[in-house]
Every structure is written in structure tokens, then in C-alpha cells.
Amino acid sequence: MKLLDRILDLLFPPKCPFCGRILDGPGICPACEKALPWTDDAQGLREGPGGLRCAAPLWYEDLAREGILRFKFQGASAAATPLGELIARCAAERFSGAFDTVTWVPVSRRRLRKRGYDQARLLAEAACRLWDTKPVRLLNKTVDNPAQSGLTEAAARRANVLGVYEPCPGADIAGKRVLLIDDICTTGATLTECVRVLKDAGAAEVVCAAVALTRKQPEKHAKERR
């Protein structure tokens, strides 16, 4: 495997997921390490209805946004390794000892065929490699609903994901403490719905982690939009 890895690195050298610079190994270049919009201890945890708790190392803006969009929509699947490692470090810091099972927010079959990969699954697999374990598929997406990115109102985003996920047949969920992984947490609607489904299926606890969070709108702007 080490020889194969070397050959693959020669053919497809690792690149920084944010600027595309070629690196000696998977990771993030020093310049991007300094320039990325890192969340701080106080703001890197999003809490919401239904017991939602989602930690993320980055804000979804600037370099982080550009890198995640390339990973998600432009075929840059190799970025899953460094991005998944960011999630792993963040989850270990925030939720150490709080989960015994790792899963992800799945895409629909139609989206999978179109994109060629499930980005959240790749992130979960990359994170789990650092822990010498593997993620477990606990959820299916049964409805190919419109993309959340096309919706701006929180209520519309909640309605858009209602009932589109279900537990995988035969999934061992009862009593599990689950870490649920996704790429971005915007309003938290998707994660909140997945948390609800997992808890309804018997999960003892569900905590979430993503690569990036969007910043909350100032209250006055939220009122203006209503």
C-alpha cells in the first residue's frame, strides 16, 4: 500500500484544498492555515432546536467557502482527507467521550449519481481514519428535495427537509451515542431533522460536526427579513 500511495502521489499530488498549491502530503498549506476564517472557542459551537449541537472549525466564508464549494460541486473529492481531519480534531476537542458511533448526512441517489460521490460520507471516512475506525451508515435520504442552498428563509429550509430522511433498515441505532457529520451548517435545518430521525430511532445522544458554520445574521436583519 505504501508503494501504491507513492505512485498515486506522483500521478495525483496532494493539493491544499483551499488554494490548490501542491503539497508533500495531504493537508493545508501554511499560508492558508494563517488566512482561513477559524471559529473561536465561544462561537464554534452552533446550538438550536431539538437539541442540535454542531461544532465546526471554520466559518463558511472567504477561502473556506471557496474550498468547500470546489470539494462539493467541482469534483475535488481528494479534499475530503484534509477537511475530514479538521472535523476530527474539532469533534475530539468539543465532544471527547460523547460519541461511540460516527455517521453522516447522506445525499439522495440521484444526487450521488450526478456528483459521483457523497461528500459527507468522504468527510466521515477521513475523520474516522484518524481514530482507526469506520463510519456506519445509519440514515437514508429517500426524497431528492431541492438543494438547501437555493432557499434563504429558515422556515423554508426546515420545510424542505422534513420527512426526507429515514433510518437505514436494520441499522443499529438504539442506545448509540452518535457523531453526525456534514459539510456545512447554515441554519441547522438539515442536521436538526437528521438528529430528530436518529433520536426517534432510539439514539441515546446525537452531536454534530461540520467543516464550516455560517455566521448568524444580526437580529435587526432577521427582523427586517420577516
Strand partners, 46: 54
Q: Give the C-alpha separation, 164 to 141, whole Å.
A: 6
Q: Give CA–CA dist 212/209, Å, rounded.
A: 9
Question: Residue 217's pLDDT is what?
Answer: 66
CA neighbor of 209 nearest in space, from 42, 85, 118, 108: 85
What local confidence, expressed as pLDDT, does residue 49 receive?
Answer: 87
Task: Work out the mean pLDDT of the chain and round it to a whole number.
Answer: 88
Q: What is the 3-state secondary structure (H, E, C) of 101-135?
A: EEEECCCCHHHHHHHCCCHHHHHHHHHHHHCCCCC
Is the pLDDT at 214 greater than 70? The verdict is yes
Q: C-alpha angle 45/184/180, rounded to 5°?
A: 70
Confidence of residue 8 (pLDDT cuts 50, 70, 90): very low
pLDDT of 6 strictly over 70: no
Query: Which of 17, 34, 35, 18 is CA-nearest to residue 26?
Result: 17
What's residue 220's pLDDT? Answer: 44
pLDDT tens string 66-94: 999 999 998 899 999 999 999 999 999 99
The region of weakest confidence among 116-130, 145-159, 181-195 is 145-159
The dihedral sign for the CA sequence 167, 168, 173, 179: negative
The more confident residue out of 154 and 98 is 98
Q: Whole-angstrom Cα distance, residue 72 to residue 204?
A: 31
Cβ within 8 Å of residue 146, ≥6 positions away = 160
pLDDT band at residue 12 using 50, 70 and 90 as cut-offs: low
Q: Which of 169, 164, 185, 170 minimizes the C-alpha distance to 110? A: 164
- Cβ distance 185 to 215 under 8 Å? no
What's the confidence (pLDDT) of residue 225? 39
Least confident of 10-19, 39-48, 80-89, 197-206: 10-19
- The whole-number pLDDT of residue 146 equals 67
> Could you tell me the pLDDT band of residue 218, with boundaries at 50, 70 and 90?
low
Give the whole-angstrom CA distance, residue 226 versus residue 119: 33
Q: Does residue 5 surpass a pLDDT of 60?
A: no
